[in-house]
Amino acid sequence: MSEKKVLLEVKNLKKYYSKSLYLNTKKHITKAVDDVSFSVYEGETFGLVGESGCGKTTIGKMIVKLIKPDSGEIVFDGLNFSDIKEKDLPSLHRNVQMVFQDPHSALDPKFTLFETINEALKTHKLCKTKIEAVAKIERLISLVGLNSSQLQKYPSEFSGGQCQRISIAKALAVNPQLIVFDEPVSALDVSIQAQIINTIVELQHKLKLTYIFISHNLAVVKYISDKIGVMYLGKIVELGTFDDIYTHHLHPYTQTLLDAILDLKHISKPQQSIDYENFLNKTRNSNGCSFCPRCKRAISRCSEEVPKLKEVAAGHFVACHLI
Ligand code: SF4
């Protein structure tokens, strides 16, 4: 059997932000992404999960080159991003696409469905004639579950779910190898979410695509991911296969996310009166484990030393002093 090919490799990626606090000259550093590494294999889906503000969208944006990392490496199909020349950027943008959370704001309200997809084709000079472009656009919209009678409609005439289908068709127009989906269903009605996820899964099989699927919800990622990275405040705290994360998970935070699928009350957030963002920033930059203030299993070592991500079984990594 042939070895699986690594399509994307992220190595020791870091992105820090600094800002001066009010009436204070001292800079406050937020470690949005702090030494994150993972690999994505061709034809697979890598799920990136964690609560809002954990750095998963920042990683997605670094992968599509919307944000520059402070350090670390991103290697796509053997090409290190730091070696990419200006002239090769269009080709990279074509191969690595991103679908965003809010489909309405991701589409230009002045463009019809036809114009939206045609724009992507024109930018990358993918069709020689208008007849070729029309045929390609009709095929794409049929692939995502829309039909040609809707081609002259504007985004405002579509539902949220239909707009997300248009965003997916737009991403597919340039024949990418990898698509980063950033919370693609969280802005949609629950009844629509499963339909969009089914479409995303069908497209992967039909077109042999590789995905990174970002979500705050382990229940959503469950149906689509081959491997999953659980993130907490800028770091991956557990990484493994579907089975490692859902059946044999070891990190207390993974357990918290799994509990949240059953009952949102189980998320042990700090008291409502505390400024939550402030709380996260303090714990993010603490000397010990960032999850310590919320962890029911914390020991004294947890507040003094950051746990390293260790391989506990083949391909299953956990960052916790108890493991
Ligand atoms: Fe909890 Fe300590 Fe493990 Fe962090 S290192 S998750 S605080 S037990």
Strand, coil or helix: 216 = coil
Question: With bands split at pLDDT 50, 70 and 90, how would you rate the model's confidence at 271?
Answer: very low
Average pLDDT over residues 293-313: 94
Within 6 Å (CB) of ligand 1, which residues are found? Answer: 252, 289, 291-292, 295, 297-298, 302, 307, 320-322
Residue pair 302/289 in contact (Cβ under 8 Å)? The answer is yes
Radius of gyration of the chain (CA): 21
83 belongs to a structural domain: yes
* CATH number for position 32: 3.40.50.300
Helix/strand/coil for 225: coil
Ligand 1, residue 307: give the atom nearest the CA: 5
pLDDT at 276 over 70: no
Is 257 inside any structural domain? Answer: yes
pLDDT interval class at 280 (50, 70, 90): low
Establish if 323 belongs to a structural domain: no
For 122, the domain range is: 6-318
pLDDT at position 267, please? 37
What separation in Å is there between the alpha carbon of 247 and the centre of ligand 1? 19
Distance, in Å, from the CA atom of 46 to the CA atom of 215, rounded to the nearest integer, reads: 11
Q: How far is the CA of 322 from the centre of ligand 1 (A)?
A: 7
pLDDT class of 264 with cuts at 50, 70, 90: very low
Q: Residue 161 falls within a domain, yes or no?
A: yes
Q: What is the pLDDT of residue 83?
A: 85
Task: Residue 320: name the closest of 84, 201, 296, 94 by CA.
Answer: 296
- Residue 1 within any structural domain of the chain: no
Least confident of 8-22, 103-117, 235-249, 276-290: 276-290
Residue 41: inside a domain, yes or no? yes
**How far apart, in whole angstroms, are the C-alpha atoms of residue 267 and residue 183?**
20
Given pLDDT bands bounded at 50, 70 and 90, which one contains residue 117?
Answer: very high
Residue 207 lies in a domain: yes
Q: How much is the pLDDT for 125? A: 84
Ligand 1 centre distance from Cα of residue 251 (Å)? 8
Does the CA dihedral 4-41-306-264 come out positive or negative?
negative
292, 308, 310, 318, best to mutate for ligand 1 pocket (most atoms within 8 Å of CB): 292
How remote is the CA of residue 297 from the centroid of ligand 1, in Å?
Answer: 6
pTM check: above 0.75: yes
Question: What sign does the dihedral 299-234-167-130 (CA atoms) show?
Answer: negative
Spatial distance between the Cα atoms of 255 and 116, rounded to a whole number of angstroms: 42
Task: Give domain status of residue 95, yes or no.
Answer: yes
pLDDT surpassing 70 at residue 154:
yes
Give the count of domains, the chain.
Answer: 1
* 243-272 mean pLDDT: 73
Min mean pLDDT across 137-151, 158-172, 230-244, 285-299 is at 285-299
Of 12-21, 262-271, 289-298, 313-322, the range with the lowest mean pLDDT is: 262-271
In angstroms, what is the span from residue 225 Cα to ligand 1's centroid? Answer: 26
Over the stretch 36-56, which tens digit does the pLDDT of each residue have?
999 999 999 999 999 988 999
